[in-house]
Structure 1
């Protein structure tokens, strides 16, 4: 290779290297950044141009009428958390959630039905943690719901009422690890959160839903393990229902939820909603067995994470908390009963039973997402 050829080769090499560098730089800049906020919103995003009923404070929730389906709203879910014991006194925690999400505002049937159903199941016990999840489209019979009599189902999972009221009811769930068949009876009244069921999730952002709770439900039935062993179980359960049209806002990151039985006749529900560019917003409601509710204003609640647990994936989750509500003389340290309860559902989260010590001695359930 003569001098002129070497010069030409060197010039071409410089051009190739420079072009490659510019291309890689542009590719990195153009690559979308996937964050907790963008991921959650890609799953349960804001309605955008879709037309759904707004959540307004002048609409009063009616019970038990509003146990029904609300297809005019984009989201809704039912949840049941049960603390069960077998004949030997061994404890089992079961948490089931049935979620409906409308991908758009059309009314259609068959495969064009825009309703998507997601249900997930968690059981915590001395045997370990077992989870399962189902996802299905409405309109084809695989999943759906009826309002009168009340029934929701996805595959073989079902919850149905046994009268003209939502309760008493029957819950049937099964997975490869266990199955449960529970009879549910009311042992207390329904309770409306917030202002007659209007549950604000921030004081500066237009985020709210309709919600009610029923922390006092008697439960008994059968729990069958993977080896075929069938156990008689009984205990108590907590029912939650929520619906709206923007359960996930544009800056939503995640939330921290606590359900605590303070006594056999008094319960405490606490939720903290976390946002990317706004301060967290915390709500708390004291509920008694007669359905009376004391809604605590956000500024009257102090909720602090005491320490974080890091998992192999690098995810750090606060499994110990301090909750203070001075106006109600509540000061609790809440601790997870088990550490390794991270579940990779559609929205990855930590779920599990907790104990609380301090002004009260309580047990309950904690759900954390967005970490």
Structure 2
């Protein structure tokens, strides 16, 4: 190689190295970072150009009409939180959620059905925490919902009644570790959250859903433990239902949900929605066994995390809270009964039973996501 060839080769080498360095720098800068907000939006993003029914304040929730399923909306879910006790007084907590999400707005059947069903199950007790999750596509019989008579199912998990109303009904769930077969009967009316069921999730962002709650449900049945022993159990349950078309929103990060039985005749539901570039928005509803409901303005709710627990993964979760609602003379310190209740569902979250002390002595359930 003569001098001229060496000079040309050296120049080309410099150009290649410089170009590669610029490309790598631009790639790093353009690569989207995976944040809590972007992860949740990747799983359950905004509708975008998809056409679903909007959630508007001029549409009241009406029962029994709205026990039906709402495929014209992008998502809907049913949830049951159950506190059970066996004949010796030992407590067991269950949380089961059945969730429908439309990946697009097509109307199709079979494998082309855009409806996706996700159900997850958590049991907390002195034996530890047990979890299970099922995911299925609609249209092939593996999962779905019917209105007359009422039924929702995914694989062998099912909740059904003999009428178009969900209660009284039968809930059957099983996993590799345990199974439960419960009869559920309503002991108090349904309560419409927000403005006749229109539940706003921020005062500046277009986020809302239709929601109703039933905190007073009696349960009786059988619970089979990991050792195969079957126990007779009784207790109470809290039924929730929500549907809408803006599940998370562009800046959504996560939420904190509390279901508290203040007494045998009064219950409190609190939700805090957290956003990347906006202040959190908190809602609360005080419900009694006669169906009376007080929807509390966001500005009258003070919800503060008191302490955090860090898990081996590095995730820090607030498991102690102070809740104040001055207009209702409520001032509570809420603490998790057990700390290691992190579950890696489609959206990772903390779920578990809680106690609350202060103005009232309460028990309930807490669900935290986006941490």
Q: Same fold (TM over 0.5)?
A: yes
State the match for 1:322 in structure 2.
322
Aligned residues of 2:147 and 2:164 also touching (Cα < 8 A): no
Matched, 1:228 2:228: yes
Aligned residues of 1:171 and 1:184 also touching (Cα < 8 A): yes
State the match for 1:57 in structure 2.
57
| SS at 1:32 equivalent | coil
State the match for 2:70 in structure 1.
70
State the match for 2:370 in structure 1.
370
Counterpart Cα distance in 2 of 1:116 and 1:300: 38
Aligned residues of 2:116 and 2:138 also touching (Cα < 8 A): yes
State the match for 1:190 in structure 2.
190
Matched, 1:114 2:108: no
Distance 1:9 1:165, change over 3 A: closer
| SS at 1:18 equivalent | helix
Matched residues, number = 371
Counterpart Cα distance in 2 of 1:134 and 1:240: 20
**What's the TM-score once normalised by structure 1's chain length?**
0.97
| SS at 1:21 equivalent | helix
The Cα shift of 1:58 comes to 1.1
State the match for 1:293 in structure 2.
293
| SS at 2:210 equivalent | strand
Superposed counterparts of 1:333-344, under 5 Å: 333-344=333-344
Counterpart Cα distance in 2 of 1:10 and 1:70: 68
The Cα shift of 1:20 comes to 2.7
State the match for 2:37 in structure 1.
37
Counterpart Cα distance in 2 of 1:102 and 1:251: 20
Counterpart Cα distance in 2 of 1:18 and 1:129: 55
Matched, 1:128 2:128: yes
Task: List alignment gaps of at least 5 residues for structure 1.
Answer: none
The Cα shift of 1:32 comes to 1.8
Q: Could you give the per-residue CA deviations for residues 181-200 of structure 1, whole angstroms, max 9, x where no partner exists? A: 01000111100000100101
Query: Superposition RMSD on alpha carbons, in Å?
Result: 1.5
The Cα shift of 1:64 comes to 2.7
Superposed counterparts of 1:160-171, under 5 Å: 160-171=160-171
Matched, 1:174 2:161: no
The Cα shift of 1:226 comes to 2.2
Aligned residues of 2:148 and 2:163 also touching (Cα < 8 A): no
Where does structure 1 differ by over 2 angstroms across 4 or more consecutive aligned residues? 1-20, 162-165
**What's the TM-score once normalised by structure 2's chain length?**
0.97
| SS at 2:228 equivalent | coil
Aligned residues of 1:54 and 1:245 also touching (Cα < 8 A): yes
| SS at 2:116 equivalent | strand
